[in-house]
């Protein structure tokens, strides 16, 4: 008859088999190490993830799974924890990198637990390969950039006739000045004629620069580059976006006021994308005021704590409550024409920058759109 010892042994064997079955089925890699960093157990998922068989990994230092400099520093990390008790990863988790047997590194999400077994400290590491997540994030970022570019093309298509008119003015002036200079120099080049010709040439240069600035603003706005976050001047962003958005609107008699908070000028953003948001909001405000008796456009920036709030206020017809509730969804618009993607793209851009965007009724009549951006840490 089996005695208590045999029964205990059978129970332990069963527990070990049960534990090994868990190790074989856990989708994330699981690695057990002792307080010296020596691997005690290596799951089937860990074998697949790192390229080592369990019998190759067990007994080795866990630093073999790490790239430099963590590879060389890991023993020091363990000792520091034993001496101070300060947790850097245990129970917290972090995103870091791991090293495959072939030497390649890959991004992981590491979670570490701690327990005591028969007086010995044991650490359990759960490792999730986030390569696919990173690739998905990059793809989503590419799609966002592409969508923003399509939005700019759509906006510039609607603005094409106004831009043609705006460019025609300096180009016509340049042609007229050149003809005038030619006439002046066709006769006797007396001092008065020469001075008049010089003045005409200076005006020609000014008009050429004006045309060049219009083209540059348009080219920058339509740029198809990758998203680039930098410390930028909000005053510059607002000024350039406003200049481009107001093209062709001078004849509508719109009173424009821009108030910049000088204490909150530095923001960490992609300049072109934020200019796209402002361009869209300003053009929407202009269109909303076409039938209004009083046409006033106000652009404000205000700093508070670690964010800056940018407001675009109009005195137009306002937005119906039924539309306002879903205004930032794709294909929802308050305009008689248009696809209704401008505000959806704007929300995508602002949220990607860590801000938020919303609208509210203007007490003076019309609508106020506001959005926030993080201040740059100088």
| Shared-domain flag, residues 255 and 362 | yes
Helix (H, G, I), strand (E, B) or coil at 144: helix
| Shared-domain flag, residues 145 and 118 | no
Give the angle subtended at the CA of 156 by the CAs of 285 and 361, to the nearest 5°: 15
pLDDT at 338: 42
* Residues in the chain, pLDDT under 50: 1, 5, 7-10, 331-332, 334-340
| Shared-domain flag, residues 253 and 166 | no
**Strand segments (E) across 185-254:** 230-233
| Shared-domain flag, residues 111 and 21 | yes
Q: Which two three-digit tokens encode residue 245? A: 């958005």
| Nearest CA among 256, 254, 260, 221 for reference residue 238 | 260
Query: Would the pTM of this model clear 0.75, i.e. be above it?
Result: no
Cα separation, 20 vs 282, whole angstroms = 64
pLDDT at 234: 93
- DSSP-derived secondary structure for 290-303: TT-SS-EEEEEEEE
Helix (H, G, I), strand (E, B) or coil at 226: coil
**Among 204, 226, 248, where does a domain finish?**
226
Q: What is the CATH number of the domain that holds 103?
A: 3.30.450.20
- H-only helix segments in 246-369: 271-288, 321-324, 342-352
Give the angle subtended at the CA of 311 by the CAs of 375 and 346, to the nearest 5°: 80
Domain with 35 in it: 4-129
Q: Total domain count for the chain?
A: 3
| Shared-domain flag, residues 368 and 244 | yes
Q: Which two three-digit tokens encode residue 182? A: 């030619």
| Shared-domain flag, residues 145 and 221 | yes
Q: Which two three-digit tokens encode residue 193? A: 């004629």
| Shared-domain flag, residues 250 and 188 | no
| Shared-domain flag, residues 210 and 242 | no
| Shared-domain flag, residues 25 and 90 | yes
Cα separation, 275 vs 270, whole angstroms = 9
| Shared-domain flag, residues 195 and 63 | no
**Among 169, 199, 226, where does a domain finish?**
226
| Shared-domain flag, residues 166 and 292 | no
Cα separation, 301 vs 305, whole angstroms = 13
Residues 6+ apart with CB under 8 A from 241: 274, 275, 276, 278, 279, 282
pLDDT at 332: 46
**Among 129, 158, 179, where does a domain finish?**
129
| Shared-domain flag, residues 89 and 141 | no
Cα separation, 230 vs 220, whole angstroms = 16
Q: What is the CATH number of the domain that holds 240?
A: 3.30.565.10
pLDDT at 101: 92
Distances (CA, A) of 87 to 81, 128, 169, 181, 319: 7, 20, 68, 79, 53
Q: What is the CATH number of the domain that holds 214?
A: 1.10.287
Q: Which two three-digit tokens encode residue 286? A: 């202009």
């Amino acid at each position: 008859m089996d005695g208590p010892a045999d029964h205990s042994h059978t129970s332990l064997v069963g527990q070990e088999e049960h534990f090994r079955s868990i190790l074989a089925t856990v989708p994330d890699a699981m690695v057990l190490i002792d307080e010296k960093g020596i691997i005690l157990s290596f799951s089937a998922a860990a074998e697949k993830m790192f390229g080592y068989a369990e019998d190759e990994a067990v007994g080795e230092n866990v630093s073999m799974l790490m790239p430099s400099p963590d590879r060389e520093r890991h023993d020091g990390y363990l000792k520091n924890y034993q001496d101070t008790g300060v947790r850097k990863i245990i129970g917290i988790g972090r995103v870091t990198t791991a090293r495959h047997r072939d030497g390649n590194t890959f991004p992981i999400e590491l979670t570490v637990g701690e327990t005591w077994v028969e007086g010995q400290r044991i650490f359990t590491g759960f490792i999730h390969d986030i390569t696919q997540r990173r690739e998905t994030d990059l793809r989503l970022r590419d799609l966002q950039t592409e969508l923003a570019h399509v939005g700019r093309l759509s906006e510039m298509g609607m603005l094409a006739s106004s831009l043609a008119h705006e460019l025609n003015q300096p180009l016509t002036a340049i042609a007229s000045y050149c003809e005038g200079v030619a006439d002046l120099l066709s006769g006797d080049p007396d001092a008065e004629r020469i001075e008049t010709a010089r003045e005409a040439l200076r005006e020609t240069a000014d008009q050429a620069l004006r045309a060049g600035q219009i083209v540059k603003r348009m080219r920058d706005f339509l740029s198809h580059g990758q998203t680039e976050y930098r410390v930028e001047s909000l005053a510059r962003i607002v000024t350039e976006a406003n200049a481009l958005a107001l093209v062709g609107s001078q004849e509508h008699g719109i009173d424009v006021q821009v108030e910049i908070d000088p204490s909150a000028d530095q923001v960490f953003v992609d300049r072109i994308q934020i200019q796209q948001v402002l361009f869209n909001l300003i053009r929407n405000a202009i269109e909303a005021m076409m039938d209004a008796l009083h046409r006033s456009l106000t652009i404000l920036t205000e700093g508070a704590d670690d964010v800056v709030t940018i407001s675009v206020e109009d005195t137009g017809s306002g937005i119906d409550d039924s539309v306002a509730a879903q205004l930032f969804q794709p294909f929802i618009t308050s305009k008689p024409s248009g696809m209704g993607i401008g505000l959806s793209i704007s929300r995508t851009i602002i949220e990607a920058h860590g801000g938020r965007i919303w609208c509210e009724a203007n007490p003076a009549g019309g609508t106020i759109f506001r959005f926030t951006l993080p201040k740059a840490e100088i």
